[in-house]
Structure 1
Amino acid sequence: MGITEQSVVEVLEQFGLQGTVSSIKPFIDYHSEADKEVKTIAKVGFKDRAPLVVKFLKEPEHPPSVIESQSVFSEYLRNCGIRTAQRYEKNGTYCLPYQWDGLDLTVTIEEYLGEEIKAIDFPLARNIGQLLGKIHTVSEEGGCRIGKETIFNFLGYNEVSGYDTFRKMSTIRELDPLLFERIKGIYEEKREAVQRLWNLLPRAATQGDISINNLTVADGTMGIFDYNIAGDATLVGDMVLQGLLTANEMPLAEGILEESRPDLFRVFCEGYCSERALTKEERMAAECMYSVASAFWFTDIRYDDDSLEQLRARGENERAERKLQGIYDSLQQDCPKYFNSGNSGEFKKRVKNT
């Protein structure tokens, strides 16, 4: 799009805001003429006020009605004590129309909350878990809903699941077909166990992506921003998948070893549960969710250099076979004690001969 000072000033005037622009730093500047899509997000500095984040948007998956609901949710959290970027409004509306190059865009303005976190350690993992626990508690108690799903739905669209890729590989004759079938059998049983509990699990709106590039820390308090994929979620599923995303994919601070990632997840969960205790049904579901999500974690199945797909692509069949055995072993392991509902041993007996 090529955001200009003039366009920023025009948007400020729409919102009834004033300020002398001193700098414009685009975070994202995307414009597709073919798809008629725009996503431009910029930090705007001023000579006479604190910086703001201005967003120019036109995306089919993010209509103004959804952005408005996400903004309302964000402000609700802020008013309930969650440190999040203040949204600006005009006549009770957070999303205003803006014309650019013949396109009808949506514009929003919010405060700039601070620099994103660059790497994770154990205290940060605990704090992130605590923050998510607070968000879930506030949202659940307030009956918050946005009206769309997040991208981390254990039983639906789930961007961190590698199971579909795994399933497509089951016809590769160089790999043990019997082992594939055993793995798929355990997967189906654990998924069905979650399905049976699904309607008993609390649901509410959530921010949707607590990656550290959406988090900041100031004066010892963690803040969160970027609600573009906020939506409604089954809370325990959001906890497990977001916790694994935090532990498995975030850059590690100096001195934190790769082998520490499972412990980062444990600390994350301890932080979460210090703010929001899981129900019995949530603990039972969490056991299966953790087992399946860990075994079929998307980077381990498809993207990492030693992932199952990459090993197969290089013809390293022996290593791929060991990876397959590792998936099977992972699915059969006892779940972490912080999920222990007292049923994991019984469940393990049922799947042992699958």
Structure 2
Amino acid sequence: MRFKHEPDVTLALVNAQCRFAGFLADNGIKTPALFLADRAYARWYTIRGYDVIVTVEAFAAGELREVSDEIAQKTGGLLARMHNIAQAGACHVPGGVLFDPLRENDLFSFAAFRRHEAFLRSVDGALYRGIAEEYHALLQRIRVFENEPKYAVQGDISNGNLYQTADGEIGVFDFNRCGDAVLYYDAVMQAVFEARLMDYPKEIAGKQERLILSAFFRGYHRERPFTRAQQEAFPYLYAMISAFWRGRIQFDEDSLCHAAAAGDAQAARRRMEEIRGRILSRPEMPL
């Protein structure tokens, strides 16, 4: 049983998310069954004076606790099949997603970098200006897919939302972040999310990114081949994600934002030099 009361969540949105999950299940994707009440998946209930949207779904055993290269490859294949089904069925869910690279998102933030513009220019104006110019050049490179059709995506492929069946298949649950996205952007952003922010077996933890990325993309490419244009755009999108990664920009103890807030010019310069290095690093898509 799930309870929802976020300000941006409506009954119509939750029902649309549930219908999409059901459509995926009808087309072979492992996802827990959702139960209907009066021909709707979601209904308002008042519980101790608190209004909530309620949905009920079957329990999924086998929740994944960590991501290995084998799991990453299966997850990439799962995401590709979900994308294929969504596109073939012209599926849409009227909601935003966490990982749209053309807007503020949960993985990286140029806006957080720019908020400290005055201080960073005082530290090294040429360095700041060069980073900003590179960002806008990267943005133009990846905008080539901006007007592609958007389709429904689950929106949060993480080990906490995945499970493995007794026969080794990977299934997915939790469609709370489901919305419409450009499928290529979703594939790359989800892959980096999977490669950086999950729990991993101890033998690869700390050095897992390239291994997990490669496995994820191989699994995806096998089910939904990346076009030449998509492969050529990857280095620029990856550079943007890496350069403005929220952890290094905002959240880590030694982040750029913390250095700027403390007025630490030396630390801020080091962080900007790191950003410049990452923004100029353009690795090919590891297939």
TM-score, normalization: structure 1?
A: 0.75
1:67-124 Cα offsets, whole Å, 9 max, x none, are 0000000000011111011101134311123232344432211001124322222112
Query: Paired residue for 2:69?
Result: 122
Query: Paired residue for 1:137?
Result: 84
In the alignment, structure 1 residue 195 sits paired with structure 2 residue 143: yes
How many residues are matched? 285
Query: Paired residue for 2:98?
Result: 151
Q: Percent identity?
A: 28
In the alignment, structure 1 residue 322 sits paired with structure 2 residue 270: yes
Query: Paired residue for 1:109?
Result: 56
Q: Which has the larger radius of gyration?
A: 1
1:231, CA displacement in angstroms?
Answer: 0.3
CA distance in 1, matches of 2:6, 2:156: 18
> Contact 1:144 / 1:205 at 8 angstroms: preserved in 2?
yes
Query: Paired residue for 2:20?
Result: 73
* Structure showing greater relative contact order (alpha-carbon pairs closer than 8 Å, 6 or more residues apart): 2
- Written as runs of structure 1 = structure 2, the 5 A alignment for 1:200-349 is 201-219=148-166, 220-312=168-260, 317-338=265-286
1:320, CA displacement in angstroms?
Answer: 3.7
Farther off after superposition, 227-236 or 281-290: 281-290
Q: Secondary structure at the match of 2:247?
A: helix
| 1:75–1:182 Cα change, 3 Å | same
CA distance in 1, matches of 2:123, 2:158: 35
Runs of 4+ in structure 1 displaced over 4 angstroms? 311-317
1:243, CA displacement in angstroms?
Answer: 1.1
| 1:313–1:222 Cα change, 3 Å | same
Partner letter of residue 323 of structure 1? R
1:125-161 Cα offsets, whole Å, 9 max, x none, are 2222111111111111111101122121111231212
Query: Paired residue for 1:178?
Result: 126
Partner letter of residue 174 of structure 2? D
> Contact 1:287 / 1:335 at 8 angstroms: preserved in 2?
yes
1:321, CA displacement in angstroms?
Answer: 2.4
Partner letter of residue 192 of structure 2? L
TM-score, normalization: structure 2?
A: 0.91
> Contact 2:235 / 2:285 at 8 angstroms: preserved in 1?
no
1:16-36 Cα offsets, whole Å, 9 max, x none, are xxxxxxxxxxxxxxxxxxxxx
Partner letter of residue 110 of structure 2? Y
- Give the aligned CA root-mean-square deviation in angstroms: 2.1
CA distance in 2, matches of 1:333, 1:289: 11
Q: Secondary structure at the match of 1:258?
A: coil
> Contact 2:35 / 2:56 at 8 angstroms: preserved in 1?
yes
CA distance in 1, matches of 2:217, 2:271: 27
In the alignment, structure 1 residue 58 sits paired with structure 2 residue 9: no
Greater fraction strand:
1
Unaligned stretches of 5+ in structure 2? none
1:144-185 Cα offsets, whole Å, 9 max, x none, are 101122121111231212211111223225632211111110
> Contact 1:121 / 1:253 at 8 angstroms: preserved in 2?
yes
In the alignment, structure 1 residue 90 sits paired with structure 2 residue 31: no
1:208-231 Cα offsets, whole Å, 9 max, x none, are 101111111122111111101100
